[in-house]
A and B are shown apart, each in its own frame.
Chain A
Amino acid sequence: MGFIGETVDSIKSIKIRQVLTQAITLGMIVTSALIIWKALICVTGSESPVVVVLSESMEPGFQRGDILFLRMTDEPIRAGEIVVFSVDGREIPIVHRAIKVHERGDTKAVDVLTKGDNNDIDDIGLYAEGQLWLHRHHIMGRAVGFLPYVGWVTIIMTEKPIIKYILIGALGLLVITSKD
């Protein structure tokens, strides 16, 4: 009976309420982030409302580490707009400027040619094999604004995964050891 009593006391001493509070708080933080992201997707109409600039193809307008805010509406694509498009066979979307637009009279289907401001040639070489034009379904959004430098965190974590793990580990440790 003494052994059982000690075991019960041990379980009771775990402070279930505190552990539960911590777990729920963590869950709230994660789900809040997801909700905000999904809300942004709904409001902007683009499946990637915020993207980080990874290359120098649009310098000096956009530099590595800038984050772009995208928006996708039903308005037609026009020359001069900075569009974000995905190419079959490439994982990362590309942010370049439309330099040619041909729009059908009947279907409103659109052929778009893009180019990075800092590049010497157009993007036909970046498109899928044999593809000469972008079409509406390739385009994920158009850039409407940006913030400089903020995206460096993402770039660093992508290029040096060890830093990402250290950061996550540190945050996890902080959560576990914190006392309210």
Chain B
Amino acid sequence: MHSFGYRANALLTFAVTILAFICAIASFSDNFSNQNPSAQIQILNINWFQKQPHGNDEVSLTLNITADLQSLFTWNTKQVFAFVAAEYETSKNALNQVSLWDAIIPEKEHAKFWIQISNKYRFIDQGHNLRGKDFNLTLHWHVMPKTGKMFADKIVMSGYRLPNAYR
């Protein structure tokens, strides 16, 4: 009952229990943050728009992305992963989601930004359905905490359209 080993075991168990409790509280506290991110995306230019030799359409865009994601950061936040995806429907696929650009935002100070950039990942359709296609641009964010549960959400922006002809 009073041996060194027994006491060390009890102390260690108690310490680990407290540590687990602290981690749980830290993760739980994220639920109370008031999140109101905002974003705006414009397509400045269609750089080129072609059909690949084996039939899939591909398009390159220049995007103007303005976003304020500072409200996503709490004291438990390690990083925010933000990305822009094009979403559209074709006759074959009910949903197509293609990531165009992403960024890892490590600090709150970098979470309010404005950037003009060509799409980082290739925008390739599964087929040749992109001419004249209406699509949404969606800014997603994925909050990765120092410990615990991860959160994700998005802002959907609609009204974008690709040209009717290749260029």
Contacts and interface: CB of A to CB of B under 8 A. Distances in A.
Nearest to B153: A80
A170 interface: no
A105 B97 contact: no
A76 B154 CA distance: 16
A147 B23 contact: yes
Contacts of B85: 79-80
Contacts of B23: 147
Given A80-B140, A105-B92, A144 B150 contact: yes
Nearest to A108: B94
Interface in A85-135: 97, 99-105, 108, 111, 117, 122
B140 A103 contact: no
A99 B95 contact: no
Interface residues of B, number: 32
Contacts, number: 80
Contact of A101 (B96, B102, B150, B152): B96
Residue from B91, B99, B142 having most chain A Cβ neighbours under 10 A: B99
A60 interface: yes
B148 A105 contact: no
Contacts of A144: 149-150
B81 A61 contact: yes
A158 B95 CA distance: 41
Contacts of A147: 23, 147-148
A60 B93 contact: no
A143 B148 CA distance: 11
B95 A102 contact: yes
A61 B144 contact: yes
Contact of A148 (B89, B98, B126, B146): B146
A37 interface: no
Q: Which 8 A-B pairs have the closest CB atoms?
A: A105-B94, A79-B97, A99-B99, A145-B149, A101-B97, A103-B95, A61-B144, A80-B140
Interface of B: 23, 27, 78-79, 81, 83, 85, 89, 91-99, 102, 104, 106, 121, 126, 140, 142, 144, 146-150, 152, 154
